[in-house]
């Protein structure tokens, strides 16, 4: 017999970088397709899935503001970039036969639905994957905070944060060979040790609402499904 699923509903946070593949900028459609495959596999298990996708592969507000643009304008451009990523992932999922809806925090009625909390929940109950676009809809925030916010609003059992490394390390594993991966951490550990997992507001939201964050890498195929079965390598923050 198959064992019951541990999670009923999860939010997957994917940074824009996760869609870069070998590119320096923009979208690698092969990566988009791979990500969609990972999400479909989880959806096929009957786990309700929603997604928040970043925009850093196309546009990052803060770095553009540093070059002289108004921070708010730059941030709105960053939010629009996340809409493009959302549409790309939506398309890839639907090609695989998964029903989806994109909901944007900035209403764009010709492109996708506006964010409506109760409607998003209903979509998931009906087996649709919901992709939340345009972050929180506010400048000075990040898509990590949007992920934590939506996870709380959607009553998710966990936030699964896909990163470039397979968990949280004591130092940058790409620079420091002595860096060690944590199996688990508390939210307070993350905040007091200033471990750069997600920004502080995202960590605080998850902590205050008791939603664990699981940090893992999407580099190996099947990683998302493994993490949901508590196999493979990851760091759990709770």
Going by the annotation, the residues of the binding site for UMP are: 55, 75, 136-143
Q: Which of 10, 11, 12, 16 binds ligand UDP (CB under 6 A)?
A: 16
Buried b (16+ CB within 10 A) or exposed e, 187-198: beebeeeebebb
* 136 lies in the site for ligand UDP, by CB under 6 A: yes
What tokens appear for 156 in the block? 């998710």
Size of the site for ligand UDP (CB under 6 A): 24
Q: Which stretch binds ligand UDP (CB under 6 A): 23-31, 91-99, 115-123, 137-145?
A: 137-145
User: What are the φ/ψ torsions at residue 14 (nearest 5 degrees)?
Assistant: -120, 125
End-to-end CA distance of the chain: 30
Closest separation between CB of residue 31 and ligand UDP, Å? Answer: 13
* 211 lies in the site for ligand UDP, by CB under 6 A: no
* 66 lies in the site for ligand UDP, by CB under 6 A: no
Q: Which of 142, 154, 162, 203 binds ligand UDP (CB under 6 A)?
A: 142
Q: Which of 11, 20, 106, 146 binds ligand UDP (CB under 6 A)?
A: 146
What angle in degrees, to the nearest 10, is found between the helix axes of 143-153 and 117-125?
A: 70
Distances from the Cα of 84 to the Cα of 27, 30, 91, 130, 210, angstroms: 9, 16, 11, 15, 31
What does the alpha-carbon distance between residue 141 and residue 43 come to, in Å, rounded to a whole number? Answer: 29
Residues that bind ligand UDP (CB under 6 A): 15-17, 54-56, 60-62, 74-75, 78-79, 81-82, 135-136, 138-139, 141-144, 146
């Amino acid at each position: 017999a198959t064992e019951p699923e541990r999670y009923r509903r999860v939010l997957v946070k994917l940074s824009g970088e996760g869609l870069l593949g070998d590119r320096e900028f923009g979208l690698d459609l092969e990566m988009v397709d791979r990500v969609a495959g990972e999400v479909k596999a989880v959806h096929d298990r009957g786990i309700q899935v929603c997604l928040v996708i970043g925009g850093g592969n196309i546009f990052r507000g803060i770095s553009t503001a540093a070059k002289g643009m108004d921070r708010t304008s730059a941030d709105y451009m960053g939010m629009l970039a996340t809409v493009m990523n959302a549409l790309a992932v939506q398309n890839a999922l639907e090609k695989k036969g998964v029903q989806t809806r994109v909901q944007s925090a900035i209403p764009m009625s010709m492109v996708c639905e506006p964010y409506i909390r109760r409607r998003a929940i209903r979509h998931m109950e009906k087996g649709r994957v919901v992709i939340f676009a345009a972050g929180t809809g506010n400048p000075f925030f990040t898509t990590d905070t949007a992920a934590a916010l939506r996870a709380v609003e959607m009553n998710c059992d966990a936030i699964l944060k896909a990163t470039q490394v397979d968990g949280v390390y004591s130092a940058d594993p790409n620079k420091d060979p002595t860096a060690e991966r944590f199996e688990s951490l508390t939210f307070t550990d993350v905040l007091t040790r200033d471990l750069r997992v997600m920004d502080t507001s995202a960590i605080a939201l998850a902590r205050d609402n008791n939603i664990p964050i699981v940090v893992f890498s999407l580099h190996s195929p099947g990683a998302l499904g493994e993490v949901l079965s508590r196999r493979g390598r990851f760091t759990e923050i709770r």
